Structure 1
Amino acid sequence: MGVATSSMAAKFAFFPPNPPSYTILVDEETGKLRLSSDTLHQRYNVDVLRLCTKKGNEIVAMYAKNPSASLTVLYSHGNAADIGQMYHIFTELSLHLNVNLMGYDYSGYGQSSGKPSEQDTYADIEAAFKCLEETYGVKEEDIILYGQSLGSGPALELATCLPELRAVILHSPILSGLRVMHPIKKTFWFDIYKNIDKIPLVNCPVLVIHGTEDEVVNFSHGKQLWELCKEKYEPLWLKGGNHCNLELYPEYLKHLKKFICAIEKLQPRLRNVSAQSTDQPEQPLNTAEHNAEKPRPSTDHKEKARPSIGHREKSRLSTDSREKARASTDRRERARKSIDRMGKARNSTDQPEKARNSFDRLGDMVRSVGLCNVDCLKQTAAEA
């Protein structure tokens, strides 16, 4: 019964475009593969590949190269789409986000062989990831997984297996297959794409994007997944957005740019800070032990240096003279300290102004790269 239910869920879950939106041709001059369609305008910086999966299928992938990129996005598209329909979106994202981008068709989608199933999509994204590593030399820590709608399933499955992954982007994601149809509270073993159980296992920053008026996957899916993230990034809840039009909102590209910039520039620094923070507790312990040992020699020295009574009297007289000199020194020290305290009090009134100026400089830096206004960020974070 369970196998039958799982098969039924799989049949209802996958809707590959029929017919596919593209065909594959071989360029006579270069011998390279290219996508052919009435709506496609070929770009010189896009590779088309056929990849073999461990399930025995041959899937089609495209790789948009950006010569100035340091990060690579592996994009798992949504249902009822193929890379022919996504071609322009992929190339535009590669250009505007300054990233390399690989998109691929699931088994049974586009010109990929086989039939779609949950396990096949896992093998499909694994083949695409392997291609990035072996063919293009992309490192795991430089890859961002992007999962849209149904694509959130294979994206999160792979993310749980990659400890050094840079980041994850979830676009209109699902909690699970059955939860799209009914808001169940328990995960059944025959359910597919159990993202609700996998998201807590992801150890990298996660950005969630969802429309508040999504008529296919309820907005609550994205919100709950974001709440379950270990390392949350400021989400993007697009008011009035539905399942298929989020790319039309100006905030969509702006927020993605901000996320990519943060991941590219801040993530390595954050990793170093976290590594240092784990070593911090050892330093105070060592310092405390070192300080605890110091008084012992001085007490031993006092024990050894017990003088005679007469000698102690002479020492007391010399000590009294030293005390008088110290008293006069202390009076001068107190006067200097009182002046210093007045100066410090005056300086403390300047601290808020310095903090305000540094925040303004940060705002100027953010604005200069055209990402987002700092005041806008504060408002968005408060609403979230």
Structure 2
Amino acid sequence: MGCMFSQLAAKFSFFPPSPPTYQIKKSENGKLTVVSSSSSMPIPVADDTSLDVLLIDTKRGNKIVAFYLKNPCARLTVLYSHGNATDLGQLYDLFVQLKVNLRVNLMGYDYSGYGASTGKPSESNTYADIEAVYEYLQTEYGISEEDLILYGQSVGSGPTLHLAAKLPRLRGVVLHSGILSGLRVLCHVNFSFCVDIYKNINKIQKVKCPVLVIHGTEDDVVNWLHGNGLWKMAREPYEPLWIKGGGHCNLELFPDYIRHLCKFIYEMENMTTEIRLKRIRQSLRLPTRSNTSSSVTSDWCCCKIKLCQPKCFKCPKCPKPRCSKCCWWPNGSCCLKPSHVNCCWKPKCPTCLLGCSCCCIKCSEWRCCVGIHNELNGSGTREV
């Protein structure tokens, strides 16, 4: 049943260009090259040393095509997951512009079943595709997650957030015309169902890096509310870009698009670990630490712990849990006295030969019996 739902969702969600706009061929020196299937498509220069054409194996047995464009001035790398109904042949010119204007290395790839990649398009295949590309960036190019920005356009926001949720030290994420989920795009509903795919609404809150959302206000394919919802649910939202009058496939034509992206990349380049930690603390609104016992009491209040109540904070030998807020333990605990050694809650006092006749269990002050013994003189009377 689950497989049937997955196939049904795939038919409604994936529209790879048919035929593909490019082909992959091997040159005489063994290097892979790109050949355009249409005269209107831009063709990468064969002797361009800044472009690597790659075939990457995935864990699901598919071979996917990837373009890696190198920039010698780059400090960061962008992993680009494209939208629906397009492939690398149509995106090559955009990749070149982004590489130059943003001053980054850029890795773009075709999903299984797109372009010259093998296999069939599906949600699970796209997850395996982006994981394989990320692993290739690590092993072959030495790119760490700290120097990586994930970019997801439309359907590409699904695999982007899937990977971003697994990388806690990622530098940043860009969601371009992103979706809350596949079902919410098709049916405009506010709930998830078994046929739903790319449940980004559940994954966005797991992303621990800055998230830039870009969306057109006149997007008639993925409503602007999707982008607004993703931005509001992000743990560390960056200043969003709402392009007035922008549609679903033309945001790159607006001047604000590249201008805002450059600003984001620049800030990500100059973001230090100290700044990131400060922003994370602010987003989580962590309370200020204090050395007073009152702050410890409030943090470890057993009123909030139903099954496992903590023991006395100042007296580790005390068998009775304490709580300054619980009505069943008068005046907080017996351990508020600084001079005690052992707690007198026990029915028998090991230092008392008279069966704990002086034990403070009968005393309204709730003192510790050892402290009382220390106050007794040799005649058995208490010193004042």
- Length-normalised TM-score, structure 1: 0.71
Query: What is the CA RMSD across the aligned residues, in angstroms?
Result: 2.0
Which residue of structure 2 aligns with residue 334 of structure 1?
none
Which residue of structure 2 aligns with residue 235 of structure 1?
240
- Partner amino acid for 1:145? L
Which residue of structure 1 aligns with residue 44 of structure 2?
41
User: Secondary structure of 1:67's partner?
Assistant: coil
Which residue of structure 2 aligns with residue 259 of structure 1?
264
Shift of 1:272: 5.5
Shift of 1:208: 0.3
CA distance in 2 between partners of 1:276 and 1:268 (Å): 12
Which residue of structure 1 aligns with residue 112 of structure 2?
107
Shift of 1:31: 2.4
CA distance in 2 between partners of 1:155 and 1:276 (Å): 25
Relative distance call for 1:230 and 1:24 in structure 2 (3 A) is same
Which residue of structure 2 aligns with residue 194 of structure 1?
199
* 1:75 and 2:76 aligned: no
Relative distance call for 1:33 and 1:167 in structure 2 (3 A) is same
Shift of 1:27: 2.5
Identity of aligned residues (%): 57
* Aligned partners of 2:179 and 2:200 also within 8 Å: yes
Instruction: Structure 1: give runs of 5+ residues left out of the alignment.
Output: 287-384
Shift of 1:32: 1.1
Matches within 5 A, 1:12-31: 12-28=12-28, 30-31=29-30
* Aligned partners of 2:183 and 2:195 also within 8 Å: no
* 1:127 and 2:132 aligned: yes
User: Which residue of 164, 184, 187 maps to 2:169?
Assistant: 164
User: Secondary structure of 1:69's partner?
Assistant: coil
CA offsets per residue over residues 5-57 of structure 1, 9 Å max, x none?
Answer: 332111111001100000112232x4211111142132330100000000000
* 1:247 and 2:244 aligned: no
- Length-normalised TM-score, structure 2: 0.71
User: Which residue of 63, 76, 90 maps to 1:58?
Assistant: 63
The alignment covers a number of residue pairs equal to 284
* Aligned partners of 1:204 and 1:231 also within 8 Å: yes
Instruction: Structure 2: give runs of 5+ residues left out of the alignment.
Output: 293-384
CA offsets per residue over residues 242-262 of structure 1, 9 Å max, x none?
Answer: 001000000000000000001
Shift of 1:275: 8.9
CA offsets per residue over residues 176-195 of structure 1, 9 Å max, x none?
Answer: 11111112111123310000
* Aligned partners of 1:3 and 1:190 also within 8 Å: no
CA distance in 2 between partners of 1:12 and 1:237 (Å): 27
CA distance in 2 between partners of 1:70 and 1:22 (Å): 30
Relative distance call for 1:242 and 1:98 in structure 2 (3 A) is same
Matches within 5 A, 1:1-384: 3-28=3-28, 30-37=29-36, 38=39, 39-42=42-45, 43-271=48-276, 273=278, 285=291
* Aligned partners of 1:146 and 1:170 also within 8 Å: yes
Shift of 1:65: 0.3
